[in-house]
Amino acid sequence: MKKALQLALGIVTSVGGFFDIGNLVTAAQAGAHFRFQLLWALLLGTVLVIFLVEMAGRFAAVTGKAIPEAVREHLGFPAWLGPFLVLVLLHVLTIAAELGGIAFALQLLSGVHYVLWVVPVGVLVWLMLWRTTFDAVEYSVAIVGMITLAFVVGAMRHHPPAGEVMAGLLPTRPGHDTANYWFLAVSIVGALIAPYLFYFYSSGAIEDEWDRTYVWVNRGVAVIGMGFGAVISAGLLVTAAMVFAPLGIRVESLNEAALVLTKAFPFWGFALFAVSLGVACLGAMLEVTLSLAYTTAQTFGWHWGESEAPHRNARFATVYTLGIVAGCAIMLTGVDPMKLTMVTMALNAALLPVVAIPFLLLMNNRLLLREHANGVLSNVVVGVTVLLALVLSVVSIPLLFAGS
């Protein structure tokens, strides 16, 4: 029974790390600008992220160690310090973006400006982490995350042309706005292959006390969990293509994106979008804040664990507290959550090689993993990921300005 319930880890990782404000924004813009043409980027990112999540879970189950801890131990602290500092920057920016998403969802529902919601949201998330256990976070987000299936139902209600949808799964040259097309493609992949997703997942596996008997469970969790997020993202992209593209709406703000479900659900569509946005961003903020605390504690060899009482785990709790404070400080400047998200996704793509390559090297260490080390297929995916990461690191920042 316990192994069956581990699907919740995949769902919470999917809702928090796969379908978050980054994926929501990029999927909505991709559908509005290019209809179904960028489904291939979502498919590519999904395949890669399934393999990488599976590797992260397999590593934790076999070695009993989370990724940052193992990288520090086997590559040395000096070699890990640079990637760690990069990760801290990415974590803080992502916390701010997800916090902004929750605050904006509350603005949509209440009419009160999102900046006024920043501090209450920060306090709420802090209280959830301070007072609850990892299991409580895991199962609650998995359950409420089901509301995001509204995007899938919305797509089905619009009856999209199956031929065009299938054609979008293959890369094609855009007929217009080439720079923005490739920027969105890069952002979609960057939003999916966010480093914190793998660090949270491997740490969650340790929290759930996985061992070698969970290797096969892990594969199912990775496929089903990430598949859940992919279906939701595809549903949003298709719905945006059917609603916004015919009207020429480019979705340049979350206020425009909020209209995506109003045709499929005339009465509830606006509220469904706002709640789905808030739930997805809440799951992501909990996940990335915990990931920051996990990564920091594992880097310095501290005791860690969300299920531990804060007074027994003071440094771990201090890190996630400071992360939330930093996120609040950024959002209190009045920065647009959508623009911050797009910049963060581009930086994710640019800095991916710095944090991904050390982990991928570990997956081929047969002294650590023995028969569970990467096979040929996994190494092909590793090679594609590293190559893609290097390409993204070169093109993401120029495309940010060219596609702005």
CATH number of the domain that residue 387 is part of: 1.10.4160.10
Residue 35 token pair: 């209809």
Planar angle of CA 400, 402, 404, nearest 5 degrees: 60
* pTM over 0.85, yes/no: yes
Sequence-separated (6 or more) residues with CB below 8 Å from residue 164: 35, 36
> For residue 382, what are the CA distances in angstroms to 73, 129, 357, 368?
22, 34, 9, 18
- CA-nearest of 26, 7, 16, 2 to 343 is 26
Q: How confident is the model over 274-288, as pLDDT tens digits?
A: 999 998 899 889 989
The residue assigned the tokens 């959830």 is 128
The residue assigned the tokens 């890369």 is 171
Residues of the chain short of pLDDT 50, as ranges, are 1-8, 10, 12-14, 16
- CA-nearest of 226, 191, 241, 178 to 39 is 241
Sequence-separated (6 or more) residues with CB below 8 Å from residue 245: 31, 32, 33, 34, 35
The predicted structure's pLDDT at residue 199: 86
One-letter amino acid at 226 equals M
The span from the CA of 199 to the CA of 119, in Å, is: 27
**How many independent structural domains does the chain possess?**
1
DSSP string, 321-334: HHHHHHHHHHHTTT
Give me the count of residues in the chain.
Answer: 404
DSSP string, 288-353: HHHHHHHHHHHHHT----TTS-GGGSHHHHHHHHHHHHHHHHHHTTT--HHHHHHHHHHHHHHHHH
Cα first-last separation, the chain: 49
Domain span at residue 354 reads 2-402
